[in-house]
Amino acid sequence: MDRKGVLVVISGFAGVGKGTLVKSLMEKYDNYALSVSMTTRAPRAGEQEGVSYFFVSREKFEQTIAEDGLIEYAEYVGNYYGTPKSYVEDQLSKGKDVILEIEIQGAHNIRKIYPDAVLIFVMPPSAEMLKERLTGRGTETAEVIKKRMDRAAQEATGIEDYDYIVVNDTVEQCTAKLREIIETAHCRPVMNEDFITAVRSELKAMAGEG
């Protein structure tokens, strides 16, 4: 039977490895569509326009907001981040599971518009390991690392608003866990309304016959 697409929100502290996990999911399985966010922040080394993000000016971003072209947006450490609407809706309507890698404020907004979205928070094995990963990445100044750790401490208050947490011990086990969670979301009655209705009608018809 045709599967309905699930909207999957993946959040987590900066440095926890969300990007790597999402890349791993996309490589391993072919039924996912990755939503590319729009942002006003500057590209990091190696980031590609239209793959990592759509990099735009504040003016362009605010124009897109005005045109209702984003399903959510948020400001984070002085920059805008948002999710273009048309791609998400196209892919969901084709039965693809759409993966959004967004931060916690955006995730809350998604929940309001898409109540059936599955919200997953990626946790580090420990706070200490998060700090090590941020430091080891070597792309950020000490000041930015401090800012990100403070931000993580703030964001940690919202973890219970997510449906699931996964611990990023290794990319492989964590990818498998994400897969399991997404597959399970397809088993919700709301994703199988046509099938349930069909069986129900058939049963009713048979009960009538007896």
Interacting residues with a copy of itself (CB under 8 A): 121, 123-124, 126-128, 130-131, 146, 149-150, 152-153, 156-157, 159-160, 162-167, 177, 180-181, 183-184, 187-190, 192, 195-196, 198-200, 202-207, 210
State in angstroms the smallest separation of the CB of 108 from a copy of itself. Answer: 15
Q: Which is nearer to a copy of itself, 58 or 146 (CB)?
A: 146
CA distance 4 to 111: 18
Q: Which is nearer to a copy of itself, 13 or 114 (CB)?
A: 13
Q: Are 54 and 9 in contact (CB under 8 A)?
A: no
State in angstroms the smallest separation of the CB of 153 from a copy of itself. Answer: 4
State in angstroms the smallest separation of the CB of 130 from a copy of itself. Answer: 8
Q: Which is nearer to a copy of itself, 49 or 183 (CB)?
A: 183
- Beta pairing partners, 11: 121
Burial of 129 (C-beta count, 10 Å sphere; 0-12/13-18/19+): middle
Chain position carrying tokens 């942002």:
39
Q: How far is CA 170 from CA 14, 118, 163, 177, in A?
A: 17, 22, 21, 11
State in angstroms the smallest separation of the CB of 62 from a copy of itself. Answer: 31
Q: Are 118 and 163 in contact (CB under 8 A)?
A: yes
- Beta pairing partners, 84: 70
Q: Which is nearer to a copy of itself, 22 or 71 (CB)?
A: 22
